[in-house]
A and B are shown apart, each in its own frame.
Chain A
Amino acid sequence: MTISRDDVLMWIKNYAGVIRENKEYLTDLDAAIGDADHGANMDRGFQAVLGKMPELADKDIGTIFKTVGMTLLSTVGGAGGPLYGTLFLQAGMKTAGKMELSLEDLVTTFEAAISGVVMRGKAEVGDKTMIDALTPALEALKKASEENQPIAEALAAFAEAGKKGMESTTPLVAKKGRASYLGARSAGHQDPGATSSYLLLRTAADTWGDA
């Protein structure tokens, strides 16, 4: 069982749709503790990514990820642009020339991608950021890979851990990003970046679940 380059394109395309559906939800989450632009920024970026789809039709997975990363970098702005841009650029470096990905490949790809986000954002688990959803999801994916679970089950565990991670941000006091200026007032709100990150993982599991 592997993830093909077409599956990868479908993931990106589906995520653009998920972002459009959740644009106002993400913006509302951001309005509570940030500056009310996360949904609009992500939607602008992924609509631009959709515009690049025709030129990616025959490209390898590395090129697909790199193009997505560069497009996000130049269209999203805010903190989301460099963070999601870096996530996809790092994924692209690990998948250069590849036309399909095994579960092991997925682990190394997400490991590089998430390390890139950590490096760029200098955040740790518990800071109320994207990392709170991404890091536990990666751990779950690694564990499933070590246990030789089928891809569909590994991805389900991946998304589920991301969901728990996202939910764990609600009581946290933000230590990074604009929400940190609120201090204790940031507690009681789910982090918008962790939410868009969870949706990315959930979309992967939904898209690739029957791969």
Chain B
Amino acid sequence: MKKLINNPENVVKEELEGISYAHPDLVKVFFDPNYIVRADAPVQGKVGIVSGGGSGHEPMHGGFVGMGMLDAACPGAVFTSPTPDQMLEATKAVNGGAGVLHIVKNYTGDIMNFEMAADLARAEGIDIESVVIDDDVAVQDSLYTAGRRGVGTTVLAEKLCGAAAEERRSLKQVADLCRKVNGWGRSMGMALTSCTVPHVGKPTFDLPEDEMEIGIGIHGEPGRERMKVKSADEITEMLMEPIVKDLPYKSGDEVLIFVNSMGGTPLIELYIIYRKAYEIAQKHGLKVVRHLIGPYITSLEMAGCSITLLKMDDDLKKLWDAPVKTPGMRWGA
């Protein structure tokens, strides 16, 4: 294992210390239990938005705390769900009297820990809504699985719901918006390489030099199918076609295309993927009205990408363009 770390046990703690030194104007970092809140929390009268998950997906979620996006994030150990005590403290810290929305990715650990945290917060008199993101079309048969995983749409939902909360929409309205975004977003990812969890010290799975894994999740868990590496255009088709078919998106629909790096793939390759994704969208009559390109929901140093398509309407376009000021996403402010 070759990594820029000191001690595998201290990876998350030292990362959080770095964040606290870098962004004191945007966020406050708390330790034991670990959570990050926006610097001006709680914002009175505004719905608080809390998310969280394993570390190793940076900038998600801690990098999305700030004006116009999340009020708090709870980082777990690498690829491990955070715990209910973190979520409870974060929820209390951002409750400005209008209730708190938990945005939860559909992973068994995240679901169970957030359920327990929501029960504890309600017992303290805080209104809680929980919305589960499950947008991964790679998981086909949801009757016999834990259901579709939450992946790229999570980033978009956090941005859009954050903007809606800034407008002082109610908890129910923000939660309904989050469900709508989840319903309109679809993702699929792939890996060219595995990744190494620091405290494990060896790659999560073996992937031969000339093979790739299609339908990968974000925790280095193996995907749906393994095959010889193909060209960027062929890979983009293999990701885009199941997405477009799934919703289904219709000719004339407006969409946002989000091309995400799994961590190790450079921007030059993401634009090659975006190029083909854009052309495929056009072929289906979809109008690409917004885009996001870069590493936003990563799996440590894994090389690979994911594509997310989100159907847009006027409200979503307005919320997408609204100012956001966080360590990992910033425009208009």
Contacts and interface: CB of A to CB of B under 8 A. Distances in A.
Interface string A62-81: 00000000000111111111
Interface of B: 33, 54, 76-85, 107-109, 112-113, 115-116, 139, 141, 144-146, 149, 197, 199-200, 204-205, 217, 219-222, 224
Nearest to A44: B77
B108 A178 contact: yes
B113 A82 contact: yes
A56 interface: no
A37 B116 contact: no
Contacts of A181: 139, 145-146, 149, 217, 221
Nearest to A31: B204
Nearest to A77: B80
Contact of B83 (A35, A77, A121): A77
A185 interface: yes
Given A35-B79, A178-B217, 7 more contacts: A35-B220, A36-B197, A76-B83, A77-B54, A77-B81, A78-B80, A185-B222
A121 B219 contact: no
Given A74-B33, A177-B108, A178-B107, A82 B116 contact: yes
Contacts of A182: 221-222
Interface centre among A40, A41, A73, A181 (most CB of B within 10 A): A181
B149 to A, nearest CB: 7
Interface of A: 27, 31, 34-37, 40-41, 44, 73-83, 120-121, 173, 175-178, 180-183, 185
A37 B79 contact: yes
B43 to A, nearest CB: 27
Given A73-B83, A178-B219, A82 B200 contact: no
Given A44-B77, A183-B141, A178 B221 contact: yes
B112 A77 contact: no
8 contacts: A41-B77, A44-B77, A73-B116, A77-B81, A77-B109, A79-B81, A175-B145, A178-B221
Given A35-B219, A81-B113, A183-B141, A176 B199 contact: no
Contacts of A73: 83-85, 116
Nearest to A78: B109
A38 B194 CA distance: 18
A121 B82 contact: no
A61 B78 CA distance: 34
A32 B322 CA distance: 43
B144 A35 contact: no
Nearest to B205: A31
Interface centre among A36, A75, A76, A180 (most CB of B within 10 A): A36
B254 to A, nearest CB: 31
A82 B221 contact: no
A36 B141 contact: no
